[in-house]
Amino acid sequence: MSKTVLILLSIAVLAVPAWAAFAPIRSETRELVYEIPKGTFARRQAGEKFDLIPAEIRLTIGVQDVLVMKNHDDVPHLFGPVLIMPDQSFRLPFRKASSYLFTCPLHTSGLLTIVVDPEPELGWMRLRWRTSAAAQFAAAL
């Protein structure tokens, strides 16, 4: 290989992590949406046990920091202290990084933890966040 090709390859190898560490984080939407499908109440009344949402939901300030619950069922459903009527949505924005605990009958344990992480700072923290997000995405495939 020529010296020029090696130099260009070296620059490319260094540029990718630098971009990941300093480029702004963009997201198509800041909302994470969960939907309560039609027939959920009837399935639960029939004795079926299932989780509509995970026991823990992770959000990140500035990236995905709004939780949205949409009720497509024929009956109201509780989410924490909020009663979500049929064909209605509840939008819960988070502005502070913390861990929040809600009562939630949409999960078999009856509890939901929402962990809100701070916005990744420039540099190593942002690089680590992007690496972790890419690993989670790859694992979901």
- What the chain holds in terms of domains, given with CATH numbers, is 29-140 (2.60.40.420)
pTM of the predicted protein model: 0.72
What confidence tens digit (pLDDT) does each residue in 66-110 have? 999 999 999 999 888 899 999 999 999 999 999 999 888 888 888
User: Can you tell me the distance from the alpha carbon of 105 to that of 80, in angstroms, rounded to the nearest whole number?
Assistant: 8
User: Can you tell me the distance from the alpha carbon of 90 to that of 81, in angstroms, rounded to the nearest whole number?
Assistant: 11
89's tokens: 């949505």
User: Can you tell me the distance from the alpha carbon of 120 to that of 60, in angstroms, rounded to the nearest whole number?
Assistant: 8
Please list, in sequence order, all residues whose beta carbon lies within 8 angstroms of the beta carbon of residue 21, skipping any fewer than 6 positions away.
Answer: 122, 123, 124, 126, 127
What confidence tens digit (pLDDT) does each residue in 86-96 have? 999 999 999 99
Q: Are 123 and 23 in contact (CB under 8 A)?
A: no
